[in-house]
Amino acid sequence: MERRNFIKGAIMVVAGAAVPMAALEILDPKDVLAANPDLKWAFLVDTTKCVGCGMCVKACKTENDIPWTANVSRTWVERYVVTKEGKVWADCPKQARDGYTSPLLDENAAGKISVDPNDIAKGFFVPKLCNQCDNPPCAQVCPVGATYKTPDGPILVDRTWCIGCGYCIQSCPYGARFFHPVLHVADKCTWCYHRLHHGMKTACVGACPFGARQIGNLRDPNDPVTLAVLDDRIGILKPEYGTNPQAFYIGLSKEVD
């Protein structure tokens, strides 16, 4: 064999071996679509529609069997009152279980605060719940594998496996987790996983008379929530944490934390 031919052949063999089999595979678009789950839940909160009735909190606690009198809830509604001088008041008595029926703000140890209506620049309500982050710190810190992300989005807690150490409660930047006072395990909003998988909306979405809460499937291009996430001016809570939350907000204000 000539030296020239040998080098030529060697280069051919090495170049051929360098191409992985996957590069030659012809992909069927249907297979690619099937490999991606066809469900990805997203939540949309329109704070401009919320009136602070707290029906969502009541329905959530009833639906998910969260102790009524305990100061814990999977969802809650915060009230913000901003005065003309720029002072920000915020409260959330009993997680807004009974709604907001009094103009007095519950500042816990400081007592009930009365703000002169003529001094109020703006006042509004912000419903909150678990953001079902795409990068959930709570699932990452669990030492026993009790909390995890499902393929369609929501983060769940395995109640039989949770040891109640509380790392996940500490790790959530949104304060969405709490210790279940009866079951003694970590608990959190599941976006009513059981209802979603039976073709229903979450309890809070169903209970809201004003349409301030919506849930939808981001894989469905015609879903109203998908369209809102794509086209509307939406915000997310605490983007600086890099959690990539999947609950989107319309009408967020800089006072909201």
Binding region for another protein (CB under 8 A): 48-55, 58-59, 62-64, 81, 98-103, 117, 120-125, 135-136, 139-140, 142, 145-151, 156, 158-161, 190, 193-195, 197-198, 200-201, 203, 206-207, 209-212
Round to whole Å and give the CA distance between 190 and 157.
9
- For residues 49-69, one letter each, b for 16 or more C-beta atoms within 10 angstroms of the residue's C-beta and e for the rest, the string is bbebbbbbbbbbbebbebeee
| Residue 121 beta carbon to another protein: minimum distance, rounded to whole angstroms | 7
- Tell me the one-letter amino acid at 225: V
| Residue 225 beta carbon to another protein: minimum distance, rounded to whole angstroms | 17
| Residue 136 beta carbon to another protein: minimum distance, rounded to whole angstroms | 6
The encoded tokens of residue 198 equal: 């039976």
| Cβ distance to another protein smaller for residue 119 or 257 | 119
HSE (CB half, 13 Å, CA atoms) of 63? 24
Length of the chain: 257
| Residue 179 beta carbon to another protein: minimum distance, rounded to whole angstroms | 19
Q: Collect all residues with Cβ–Cβ distance below 8 Å to 187 and sequence separation of at least 6.
A: 66, 72, 74, 157, 177, 178, 179, 180
| Cβ distance to another protein smaller for residue 17 or 103 | 103
| Cβ distance to another protein smaller for residue 35 or 109 | 35
| Cβ distance to another protein smaller for residue 86 or 117 | 117
| Residue 156 beta carbon to another protein: minimum distance, rounded to whole angstroms | 5
Q: Collect all residues with Cβ–Cβ distance below 8 Å to 72 and sequence separation of at least 6.
A: 66, 95, 178, 179, 180, 181, 187
Round to whole Å and give the CA distance between 155 and 136.
8
| Cβ distance to another protein smaller for residue 52 or 245 | 52
| Residue 77 beta carbon to another protein: minimum distance, rounded to whole angstroms | 11
| Cβ distance to another protein smaller for residue 186 or 207 | 207
Round to whole Å and give the CA distance between 112 and 151.
45
